[in-house]
Amino acid sequence: MRESEPRRAPFVSTRALRPDHVLTLLKGGDALFPALVEAIAAARSEVLLESYIFDFNGAPVAIAEALEQAAARGVTVRVVVDGVGTGDIPAAWQQRWKAAGLHWRIFNPAQGWRIFIPKGWRRLHRKLCVVDNAVAFCGGINLLDDLYDPNYGRLDKPRFDFSVRVTGPLVDDVHETMTRLWLRLQIGREARQRDLEGALRAARAAAEAGTDMADTDFGAGAAEGAGAIAALVLRDNVRFRRRIESTYRLMIAQAQSEILIANAYFVPGVRLQRALLRAAHRGVRITLLLQGRYEYFMQYHASRAVYGALLEGGIEIIEYEPSFLHAKVAVIDGELGAMATVGSSNLDPLSLLLAREANIFVRDDAFGAELRGHLMQAIAQEGRRVDPEAHLRRSLTTRALAWLAYALIQFALFATGKRY
């Protein structure tokens, strides 16, 4: 039996920042996973979910079961996972989900030699969920137990990461971008099965589900109304190639006194580095909370290749060491109120130039204060300050590893034809 066509969202002309949002900040999987289960359990018509990693062990099993139960009671459930981050869905879960009527797709399955070609580096890195087009979730938290890492096993302390539960106008945008991706994947599936009629039908539906997402503007008069002012900002390889980076730079340019950024894999390009250094030069206090524990060779060492210029410019760098820092968040105080972002995008070339990403950008004093409180607590209690003098005295081996990793990233970008 052919799968039914996705319910198409109406055409939405998305203004950058709109009011009337209710935002709930969720710290870690301990907060996100029960909220997801609760929303999915209450679903009446549709659940859409995307994740880079969906690990079917530990805490995320409850989400897999909630999706299964929703599909079994007649709710349309569609799941998209990344072909590298997740790979194949375990066979046992494939059988269970298929029996329940749940549909899933693997984004860009890159296996074997394909992982070494530039096309294989384009990943689905965003973490999104929308239920009944009424409530959405967006953030950096994978569906992976907070106390488990696929490469390092059991963790002593949970990952440091955030997500947001949101109701309000931007839920339409989340639904629309997820529907659009599903339809594009459907085109490829139908074409591979030589069902040209089905592929054309999916292509027409994808075109009709398009959106006109304007440039994010944190200027005056963005919106008036109750609730938090917020926008969904996307990054892809077609229409929104530099949208998240440019929004970060816009926020940094408007900063008045303080910038707090927590980012797991921090290898900023020249323009982003310049924006931070200009802000520091005009007297803005800038603190970067970065990954202190070794996780991946390239990201760990390449980030340290840019430490020198930032430290010399008066930017404070704090390394988080109790567990893996996986957050991609920032809080900036502007003349019109606190600005903040929570999402999936790292500030490195893989996120900013190659992957599909999604961040929510917010102008709301209460939300900004709550997120700032979490960051300041981590800085004060769990961070280690990078001493500029000690950084200058680091060993030749450490320097060589940093520049080797940075050079490898630049070579990879050269292979893709992109500049950073």
Amino acid at 113: W
Question: In whole angstroms, what is the distance from residue 33 CA to residue 190 CA?
Answer: 33
Catalytic residue among 27, 55, 82, 125: 125
Which residue in the block uniquely carries the two structure tokens 């390889």? 237
Question: In whole angstroms, what is the distance from residue 129 CA to residue 139 CA?
Answer: 10
3-state helix, strand, coil in the chain (%, to 5): 40, 25, 35
- 297: number of Cβ within 10 Å: 12
Catalytic residue among 21, 175, 326, 374: 326
* 113: exposed, middle or buried (Cβ count in 10 Å: 0-12, 13-18, 19+): exposed
Active site residue 301: no
Tell me how far apart the 2 most distant CA atoms of the chain are, in Å. Answer: 67
Radius of gyration of the chain (CA): 21
Active site residue 333: yes
Catalytic residue among 20, 103, 132, 195: 132
Catalytic residue among 172, 328, 348, 364: 328
Active site residue 326: yes
Catalytic residue among 172, 333, 348, 364: 333
Nearest Cα to Cα of residue 79 among 45, 107, 110, 43: 107
- 81: number of Cβ within 10 Å: 24
SS3 of residue 107 by DSSP: strand
Any idea which residues carry the catalytic annotation?
125, 127, 132, 326, 328, 333
